[in-house]
Structures are given as structure tokens and as C-alpha cells.
Structure 1
Amino acid sequence: MSIKLREHIEEITPISDSEFEYVLSHFKVKKLKKHQFLIQNGNLVKDDHFVVNGLLKAYYTNDEGKEHILQFAKEDWWITDYQAYFKKIKATTNIDCLEDCEVLCLSLHNRDKLCAELQKIEHFFRVKSNFGYIALQRRILSLLDQDAKGRYEELVSLYPSLLQRVPKTILASYLGVSRETLSRLS
């Protein structure tokens, strides 16, 4: 489990054994079962989560009960309700497990501490945040500018492994189409 986190960090910045052990000591391990919530709307969000194993989805449910999927998170991805995490407010999204999951949890206090103490880790999180902004912008533009076929083709191109791991009804919701439309596209 720790090897995955180290490899993930070292995609951006090298880190010594002692630095990594120190970083790892600020995380806690959490194991969840399929369909279990990692974060629930209305609860405080204490941690950001690095996915070691499994697959999660983050979604918002509107006043009419319609579910809007914001993102998926698979191995080597990070997930939380970032607004709630950074602003220390209650979650507006839900995050639940599509598979059994194991995540490494990092509190905001520990993140800030690591970033203050280790420039390498501050650099790592800055780069990861920038990549997150890019992905979010790409997703918003896709929803605004592409038709269903274009959104589906982009999903297949960027994340082909999700097609085997995510149920079709959930993929359809992510793409903003009906299950029937997704069947015609795939």
C-alpha cells in the first residue's frame, strides 16, 4: 500500500526513504466495503483520500432527488469533497464505494504540516491541484460543448478501464444520458 503512494509522489518529485516514512506517518488507513460511504452530504470532511485499491464515485443529489456524478476515483487518484475539506464546512456531496476500497486518509492539519515542513510535498500537492483543475475544466467543457457521443468517446479515450468497472447505469449518469442512449453509443 505504501509503495503505491511513494510511486505516486515520485511521479512528480523524488523523495528519500526517511522523508517518505515521515510523510506516511501522517496518513491513516481506511478500508471500506462496496456501497459504503466514504463521505456523506451534511457531514464534516476531515480527510483527503488517496485510493490504494478500489473505485469510488462522488456525486451530488439535487432537491428533486436526481443524482449528478462529479467524478470517479480509482487507484492512484485522490478524492474528497474539496470545498468541505478546505473550508472546514459540511459536505455537499456524497462519495461511496463502487468496489471494496482501501484508502490512505490525510487530514488538512497533517497536509498543512507536511507542506510547511517539506518543500517537496508542498510542490507535489501544488502540481496535483493544478492537474485537478485541468481535469475539472476539461469535464465542464465536455458537458457544455460536446454531445453525448463526444462525451462518451472522450471517456473511452481518457479512462478506458472505467468501462469494465462501472455499471452502465452509473456511466450513463456520469455522461448525462439515459441507459438506452449509452447502449446505442457503446
Structure 2
Amino acid sequence: MAKRPVKYSVVDAFAESAFKGTQLRFRLRWFSPVNEVKLCGHATLAAAHTLFKSGSISSDVIEFLTLSGILTAKKVVLPSGNTVADLQPHFDAIEKCPGSMGVIVTGIAPRESGYDFYSRFFCPKFGVNEDHVCGSAHCALAPYWCKKLGKCDVVAYQASPRGGILYIHLDEQNQRVLLRGKAVTVMEGTVLV
């Protein structure tokens, strides 16, 4: 079986850095197996993730100087769950984001709410402006919030217009996220084939 070539790889991300206020700027380039490309959202996200996770950057904002201009990467944690719930997204802009399947926003829940954190997931590229309650988004959020809150069991509220509660357990040993919630039957029917 032939190996499939890697579609994009990130190089030069650490080659040049300069301080601009409190933001760091790195030169970032992308390459396909045969040439340099002007933009790759997934690779930009991967580079930002690597830089943020390295522990060597204290800023919450990184700028990349690229062939497509300056791209800015910010950590996406809002100051409160109420900010998450009140957010008014621009779906057209989200849909135009290169390389992005969607946008997850999250923030700490208000103390009186009974939840640990709030979230919302916007995915207009899939024909759904906002997912009402998204398990896969919470599989990504669970390791972050469990580490931040110092516990392996958290309760999340997805603050979509319909809303939903997720009971989440992070099993670090087996690298699994376990989700629990409630379901309600709203309709039953028969399909004739």
C-alpha cells in the first residue's frame, strides 16, 4: 500500500520572533509536497497550539507573519459563562474562516448556576449555524476545564437557544472522555420503503 503524502507541513514557525507590545510575532510558512501555499488554517492552529502549550509564551495572543498577511491567534476563553450565553455570532464570517470546521466558545459558569463552565459551538459550514448540544465539542473542552478546575468530573451547560446539560468525566489513564446527559422522545413514526 502506497503512503499518502502529507498535505501540509509547518516550518519556520520559530525562525523569527519580535515583540510588538505584549504580543509575539512569528514568521509562519506552509508547504504542500510540491510547493509553498499561501494559507493553511489547520497548520496555523497547530502552530499556535504548540506555542501556547510549550509554556515559553506568557501572552494570550500570537501574531504570525505569513504570505497571506498577519494572522492573529488568541486563546478562546471568555471571561464568564454569561458572556458566552450573550454572544451574538456573525455566521457569515465564521463560514468564511479558512480551514475551520467551526468555532467553540467557552467561559467559566457563574457560581450560582450549578455548572462548571458554559460553551457554544457554531458550525455554519455544516449547514447548522449553532449546534444545540455538541458532544464532540465537549470532548475537546473536557481536558482543558478538568485541568483548569482541578477535577475529573465537571458539569457543562451548552448555552445555545435550546440549551443542554452534559455530565463529563475525564478518564486520563485511558485517554477517554465520558459524556452523560438526558434524552427525550419528541416524535415516533414509521417509514415505508
Task: Give the TM-score taking structure 1 as reference length.
Answer: 0.28
- Larger RCO: 1 or 2 (CA < 8 Å, sep 6+): 1
When you count strand as a share of all residues, which structure comes out higher? 2
* Structure showing the higher helix proportion among its residues: 1
Q: Which has the larger radius of gyration?
A: 2
